[in-house]
Structure 1
Amino acid sequence: MDTIEVILVDKQDNPLGKMEKLEAHRQGRLHRAITVYVFNSQHQLMLQQRAFSKYHCGGLWSNTCCGHPFPQEETQQAAERRLNEEMGLTLPLEKLTQTYYNLPVTNGLVEHEFGHIFTGITEQLPVLNPQEAESYRFASLTDIGQELLDYPERFTPWFKTTFPLLVEQFKA
């Protein structure tokens, strides 16, 4: 397996260096990340169920895709790359907002990230990369919000953190 490096940053997203991805999650080092939310024309969000084989949060439901920019890669480029790698989708994305979080995840790892959140709209159906995604489904923001209240254990920690930001942005 190739070594993947992430960009270490401060709380203002200024680059500080780079580190191997899994080690950054083990140490809980703050690094740059991307989160993508893709909708269809009926304003339903495409949720991804993470592959059960993922090194953390396998089988949990989350945003359409997520990941990390490579060193020297722009966040927009990383978001579009990961959307294609995970879900087989190619479409233009728009930056929605950004956020900071420091969340424990499964297997003793930490998602300590400065996240850039992107959105897009498509009628394409995904072609899942089985190493990344187990399944997908579409749901309204209202239905997802209710499911988060009723069954929070079904969702990734970062989805529970970023989803309210998404809802807030669409209310504005």
Structure 2
Amino acid sequence: MSKVTDVILVNEQDEPIGVMEKMEAHRKAVLHRAFSIFIFNSKGEMLLQQRAQGKYHSGGLWTNTCCSHPLPGEDTLHAATRRLQEEMGFTTLLEKVFDFVYLAEFEHGLTEHEFDHVFVGLYEGRMTPDPTEVKDYCYKSLEEIEATLLSHPQKYTAWFNIAFPKVQQWASDNLMKNFPQKLSS
């Protein structure tokens, strides 16, 4: 398993401007490249994971299927595919659908300031999540997730609260119309 020790520092246009040790970047709130993966099944339900308690921030919170940072010099799609296998124990075809920048403060003086590339995929087979990364996982309907985000946003990670409405909009425009056929071809 590849552990990210350095992250790619970027400007607001996602152009690389340097490299920094991951925890230092999170302490200093420096903008860096990241990715988030949202996996759906054929019913249009989203695969959520509950982060392991031992994560350096947001332990025990629910979030999208997988997220991380590409290694310096690594293509972001390749990193997303690699990390999905390492974290959730499966691979599937991924498609980039949008990106966004966010800034969020966490416990222990850490901050996420990320240029986040969002990928989607379709999968409903066997999974073998890494227990040091994932405490639990489940598929939920977008309506159920939306209701829970409104009633209990603190149960979810900061980036999921930001990204979910954008992914939900993408899903309403694309998911059941042509996305499954596109990914299976």
1:136 maps onto 2:137 in alignment: yes
What is the identity, as a one-letter code, of the residue corresponding to 2:42? S
Q: Secondary structure at the match of 2:129?
A: coil
Residue 183 of structure 2 is matched in structure 1 by: none
Choose 104-113 or 27-36, whichever is displaced more.
104-113
1:84 maps onto 2:85 in alignment: yes
Residue deviations 1:115-165 (CA, integer Å, cap 9, x gap): 000000012132110111000011011110000001111000010011111
What is the identity, as a one-letter code, of the residue corresponding to 2:150? L
Tell me by how many angstroms 1:171 deviates: 2.7
Distance in 2, matches of 1:3 and 1:77, equals: 14
Residue 150 of structure 2 is matched in structure 1 by: 149
TM-score by length of 2: 0.90
Tell me by how many angstroms 1:5 deviates: 0.6
Q: Secondary structure at the match of 2:120?
A: strand
What is the identity, as a one-letter code, of the residue corresponding to 1:21? K
Residue 12 of structure 1 is matched in structure 2 by: 13
Distance in 2, matches of 1:11 and 1:52, equals: 32
Distance in 2, matches of 1:126 and 1:105, equals: 29
Residue 32 of structure 1 is matched in structure 2 by: 33
Residue 121 of structure 2 is matched in structure 1 by: 120
Tell me by how many angstroms 1:91 deviates: 1.1
TM-score by length of 1: 0.96
Residue 170 of structure 1 is matched in structure 2 by: 171
CA-atom RMSD, angstroms?
1.3
Structure 1: tracts of 5 or more residues without a match: none
What is the identity, as a one-letter code, of the residue corresponding to 2:65? T
Q: Secondary structure at the match of 2:80?
A: helix
Residue deviations 1:56-98 (CA, integer Å, cap 9, x gap): 0000000000000001101100111110111001111000111
Residue 54 of structure 1 is matched in structure 2 by: 55
What is the identity, as a one-letter code, of the residue corresponding to 1:159? F
Distance in 2, matches of 1:3 and 1:111, equals: 15
- Size of the aligned set, in residue pairs, is 172
Residue 179 of structure 2 is matched in structure 1 by: none
List structure 1 runs of 4+ shifted beyond 6 angstroms: none
Structure 2: tracts of 5 or more residues without a match: 174-185
Q: Give percent identity, aligned residues only.
A: 47
What is the identity, as a one-letter code, of the residue corresponding to 2:61? L
Tell me by how many angstroms 1:3 deviates: 6.5
